[in-house]
Chain A
Amino acid sequence: MTTHGYRLPSGGRIDRTRTIAFEFNGRRLSGHPGDTLASALMANGVDIIGRSFKYRRPRGLYGAGVEDPNSMVAVRDAYGYEPALRAGQVRLGDGMQAWSVRGWPSAVFDVGGGVQLVSGLLNAGFYYKTFKWPSWSWFEPWIRRATGFGCPQAVDENRKVHHRHATYDVLIVGGGPAGLATARSLIGSGLRVFLAEDQPQLGGSLNWEAALIDGQSGSAWAASMARTLAEDSHTTILTSTTVTGAYENDHFVLVQSFWDDRGVHTECLWKLRAHHVVLATGMIERPLLFPDNDRPGIMLSGTVRRMINEFGVAPARRMAIYTNNDSGYLTALAAYRAGMAIAAVVDTRSAEAAMHATLSKEMGIPCLFDAQIQATAGYRRLATITVRQVSAVTKIACDGLAVSGGFSPCVHLAGHRGSKPVYDPTCGAFVPGDVPERWHVVGGVKATLDLSATFADAGAVAHTIRAGRGGLGSAHSPRVDVLSLGTGAIPTQPSVGSSSRMWVDFQNDVKASDIELAAREGYVAIEHLKRYTTLGMGTDQGRTSNVVGLSLLAALTNRTLSEVGTTTFRPPYTAIRLGTIANARRGDLFKPRRLFPTHGVHENRSAVFEDFGWERPDWYRSNANEREAAVALEMAAVRNHVGVFDASSLGKIEVTGPDAAKFLSRFYVSNLMTLKPERVRYSVMLKEDGVIFDDGVVSCLSDNHFLASPTSGNAEAVAAWFERWRQTEWPTMQVAISPVTANWTSIALAGPLARALLARLQPDFDISNDAFPHMQIREGTVGGVSARVARISFTGELQFEVSVQARYASSLLSTVLTAEGDLEPRPVGLEAWLRLRLEKGYLHVGSDTNGRTTPLDIGMGGIVAKRQDDFIGKRSLKLAFATSSEREQLVGLRALDGSLEVGGRILSRGHTQVPCPTEGYVTSACFSPSVGESIGLALIQRGHTRDGEVVKVFCGGTPISCRISNPIFYDPTNQRLQA
């Protein structure tokens, strides 16, 4: 690394009264407030910022902002760490540390640079062709280690994040001259205007270009516009804000950075919707192709002007300019006025075409016309260029080269909305094609290089917007005095030098020869070319390289640029930190957790919670300190006296209306048309393919009033499923769907003493077995409050499910758990509850069913056969798929030796060892205290015809013997639940 001291004695918009200390690759350097990391590095004479992606060539600064393909750095400021930023994006902060993201042991001396010796072998697609044998996995770890754009670090993040949502009448993207003029012309219109600018100050190129507007400098005019807009209550201005994506219905995502002297302390992610959109995103300068065009010291021409005029930095001691348009001369003049030596302006055009040539010559600047650079020299920094003209070859000493190959409008946001850019041959640029309705394109983004035309255009756009929204206001037409940028430039193809030494895409190390190879091999579609060569990939997305590459492909395939087209633009325009997107969605707030109204009571009982969509007690430490012991006690409580289970998460959907019964019957396999008031029926519902979607009970509370109870996990999905069919397929049915799950808490009392425990709550209705039999429901008061009590069972025991409004939930649960006397109620967690139902052979949807299981597979064929009328999925049950004799069917399993485990595979007949074919798997399993055996449910091929058969099940690493049985292991005659 060499230090030259490139800071100019005056000029720029930096605060020279203060100094900021920072480090780059461990070296202490200094800059000023107002500097970017790029300008500070340049001022300190840092030539090499990093190494290139593939060939490890030394690379320096190429652009001044996000367009720079080279200057990828990792940065740590006082608030956090970023692994991959461009130096021009980073505002210099006190104490900031930055590192090159590539190069070992350093970016200046990189051992990996040796790969340049074999660069001839590493052409496009080399790894597709080369690393197929013997296995890609041999090479992948090495390639991954050698590539990438920086590594994240697990560090504490002090950076704050906010999210904002807003709606505006007009969004103006870009605070340069076009955006400012449009915003100014909308003042007084009554429209709410939002202006977003990615730089810290408004003005865009006016902050560094030599222009006079209304008699003042461009930057002064921009500042006065900023003040005027800030005073307008209808205008919101956000600087340091990048619009990263445009989405349907004109929704936009923006990232706003707040920074101080120590770095970026806050980021705000905006989601913004606008009725009108003004695209004033300007353009990016294009490079030119010539041999070894990637050497440190070579950079975009506009970057040189910006470095001089905005940051007070001379990019070189002796500067040459290589151009195919008039903007290169503006750079020469700016550098000359800053006191830099100008080696030459090398123009690919003839003298007649160069409008500022005379002025340049008057300043003593040598101009070479009809000229091309045929070679450059200098490894760590440019030393010479060799220029070929028709009759001469000239070697010129210079340590900097400003390059201008024309301009590429920033059409990305329009592209996000599907607008395909169209090539305008008059200005040599892709401009937005058919933009969405109420989008307006102004200034550089439509390849307008003339500032007066831009201002006129901005006034016209503002007029259109005002007229469309009935607003007032007047156009603002400032007077302009500026050196013209010319009329743009057609992409130029080099006629000298080797294409294997010309870099098209600096970030991905794609050379002109790679594109030639791709064209030879038939990758002539632009999307294919991109993927084969990596042109325009990575974080750069081809900002500087795309049009150069496209024009080369067009020339190679004898097509026009219009015929070649562009690749697809997708959000985001620049990278967004995942932490900024996540914001509060981390830790406890990662996803909206759902808690029971009784959560505190469970906590007091030392419940161990599991996230099943809801936070549900899995087991209780108050029962035992160890899970299996606690579960055994909880199961014993239900079998021997009474257990208390919180079933509040079970879905509750009220279905009402004259057609409610008919409506529900179309969803469930069982006929609900015959369900009488106060009766409850269990059934399953299917999707159109006949596969089980959900199960649960449906209660008839009164005529035309039903309560469906889907599973906890499907409660919201079932309500949406009902609503979808009501609205789209059966809109004439008189039915209403009211999801009320969270309104009610449901506490299940299960066990021989359940009735006695319910009696303690003093229900105002008869709960005797005769008056309130199994599968019925009552409405009344319990514990002095309105309640619904269903006598249903998931455990095989006498069971009452008491539902009260959630405000009484804790009181209800506490009351039943502290019931005195000989009841000994015990809280029961979900694990014990599921094992109890397994003993009874009850289905648990999701565990005992999969994406293929139909009601025929679980023994509900008889119910299906009885249904005369239609229900969703019925037709599918008649298809060969559903009636095949080879289907997996749900059966019980009893282990004859060993223990069953969920997921255990049933070995095919005749096989006793693995590997072998299998014919099903264990869906639920446990050791049953009631049966005294290891039991399970399993989906087994032809299971319903194999009762009593002994099969081998691969469990715990070994095959065990099991007997296929009826799935009901406990109380098969239902005496206990009907007691």
Chain B
Amino acid sequence: MKLQLQSSLGVDLDAAPNEAGGLPNGMALRERADVGCVFLNAAVNAAEVIEGGNEALGVQLPARPGSISRGPRCSAIWLTPRAWLVQCPVDDELELASRVNAAFADKRLHAALFTDYLYWLELCGEGAEAILQQGGFVSLERDGLAVGHAKRTLVGNIPAVIIHERKFEWLVGIERSRTKYFVGWLNSVRDAPAG
């Protein structure tokens, strides 16, 4: 017996249904059910576990707020001075978490399965940032959220992880139970004036 997979918005991961369709010209919205996640949380100061964590993950755990380190199989996003979100292919999630937890049997660093906690949405296009800015300050920095950086913030009244992948490409992760709400919210703000 094997239970079947189901994404937040559909039943078939490969089809990547686009329920929030009908965006303004040049905009694209795509469900990213292929993004897996592991939540790394240290029980001690990061310096004590960072080396072992790097080794187990194969990627440098970032130390600066908002920064992302990219490795061959996964990338690590800074969340707090003692917590990181590791993105990986969904199929790698269990193995990655197991490696970290095996390396830290005393649980000074813990890897929790997290793929299903977050629903990832890719928003592309010149007006993507304006759409996100309807829901909150994407960044309070002078030049906004720099490409290659991430942030935890409020969007549309719910907490979200925002990653600025490329100039006009954003990845937004929101808690799974609020997926339908968030898609509904996106639909309600999609005709926002850009600029």
Residues of A that sit less than 8 Å from B by CB: 160, 162-167, 169, 192, 266, 268, 271, 273, 275, 583-585, 588-589, 591-597, 599, 614, 654, 656-660, 703-705, 734-738, 740-744, 761-762, 783-786, 804-812, 815
Contacts and interface: CB of A to CB of B under 8 A. Distances in A.
9 A-B pairs with the lowest CB-CB distances in the bound complex, closest first: A657-B43, A784-B2, A806-B116, A656-B110, A704-B107, A736-B41, A594-B177, A743-B117, A584-B188
A742 B94 CA distance: 17
How big is the B interface, by class?
Answer: 35 or more
B144 to A, nearest CB: 7
B168 interface: no
14 contacts: A273-B137, A593-B178, A597-B6, A599-B180, A656-B110, A657-B108, A660-B43, A703-B107, A738-B41, A742-B116, A743-B112, A743-B114, A761-B1, A811-B4
Interface in B58-104: 82-83, 94
B3 A804 contact: yes
Interface in B109-149: 110, 112-117, 130, 133-142, 144
A784 B2 CA distance: 4
Nearest to A160: B191
Given A160-B191, A811-B6, 6 more contacts: A583-B188, A584-B156, A585-B157, A742-B177, A807-B6, A807-B7
B35 to A, nearest CB: 12
A77 B124 CA distance: 37
Interface in B20-60: 39, 41-44
A738 B39 contact: yes
B2 A783 contact: yes
Contact of B140 (A268, A273, A591): A273
Contact of A734 (B43, B117, B192): B43
A614 B112 contact: no
A165 B157 contact: no
Contacts of B11: 810
B177 A740 contact: no
Interface core residue of B11, B139, B193 (most chain A CB under 10 Å): B193
Nearest to B188: A584
A595 B177 CA distance: 5
A808 B110 contact: no
Contacts of B82: 736
B110 A654 contact: yes
B176 interface: yes
Given A167-B140, A811-B3, A815-B3, A736 B110 contact: yes
A166 B144 CA distance: 9
B192 A164 contact: yes
Contacts of A594: 177-178, 181
A77 to B, nearest CB: 20
A740 B114 contact: yes
B16 to A, nearest CB: 14
B157 A592 contact: yes
Interface in B146-195: 156-158, 175-182, 184-185, 188-189, 191-193
Contacts of A596: 177
A743 B43 contact: no
Contacts of A169: 142
B15 interface: no
A690 B127 CA distance: 52
Interface of B: 1-8, 11, 39, 41-44, 82-83, 94, 105-108, 110, 112-117, 130, 133-142, 144, 156-158, 175-182, 184-185, 188-189, 191-193
Given A592-B157, A762-B1, A785-B2, A657 B44 contact: yes
B4 A808 contact: yes
Contacts of B41: 656, 736-738
B181 A592 contact: yes
A191 to B, nearest CB: 9
B117 A808 contact: no
Contacts, number: 172
Max count, chain B CB within 10 A of own CB: residue among A592, A783, A786: A592
Contacts of B140: 167, 273
Contacts of A762: 1
B134 A163 contact: yes
Contacts of A597: 6, 8, 116, 176-177
Given A592-B158, A658-B108, A743 B133 contact: no
Contacts of A735: 43
A516 B178 CA distance: 59
Given A784-B2, A785-B2, A806-B116, A705 B188 contact: no
B108 to A, nearest CB: 6
A165 B133 contact: yes
A741 B113 CA distance: 11
A810 B6 contact: yes
Contacts of B188: 583-584, 589
B39 to A, nearest CB: 6
B157 A784 contact: no
A147 to B, nearest CB: 36
Contacts of B185: 584, 589
A786 B94 contact: yes
A703 B141 CA distance: 42
Nearest to A744: B116
Nearest to B93: A805
A704 B106 contact: yes
Among B2, B43, B82, B139, chain A packs the most CB atoms within 10 A around the CB of: B43
Contacts of A592: 156-158, 178, 181-182
B89 to A, nearest CB: 14
Nearest to A275: B142
A738 B182 CA distance: 23
Contact of A162 (B112, B157, B193): B193
Contacts of B113: 740, 743, 786, 805
Contact of B5 (A595, A744, A808): A808
A163 B110 contact: no
A768 to B, nearest CB: 19
Given A167-B144, A807-B5, A736 B42 contact: yes
- Of the candidates A163, A744, A784, the one having the most CB atoms from chain B within 10 angstroms of its own CB is A163
Contacts of A785: 2-3
A192 B142 contact: yes
Given A273-B140, A589-B188, A660-B107, A812 B3 contact: yes
Given A808-B5, A815-B3, A162 B116 contact: no
Q: Which of A162, A164, A167, A807 has the most CB of B within 10 A?
A: A807
Contacts of B135: 163, 165
A658 B184 contact: no
Given A656-B43, A740-B117, A808-B3, A162 B158 contact: no
B109 to A, nearest CB: 8
Given A592-B158, A784-B1, A740 B184 contact: no
A657 B110 contact: yes
A588 B108 contact: no
A900 B181 CA distance: 39
Contacts of B1: 761-762, 783-784, 815
Contacts of B133: 164-166
A162 B142 contact: no
Contacts of A810: 4, 6, 11
B107 A658 contact: yes
B180 A593 contact: yes
A240 to B, nearest CB: 13
A798 B164 CA distance: 49
A703 B185 CA distance: 43
A163 B113 CA distance: 35
B39 A658 contact: no
B115 A805 contact: yes
A593 B136 CA distance: 18
A464 B2 CA distance: 68
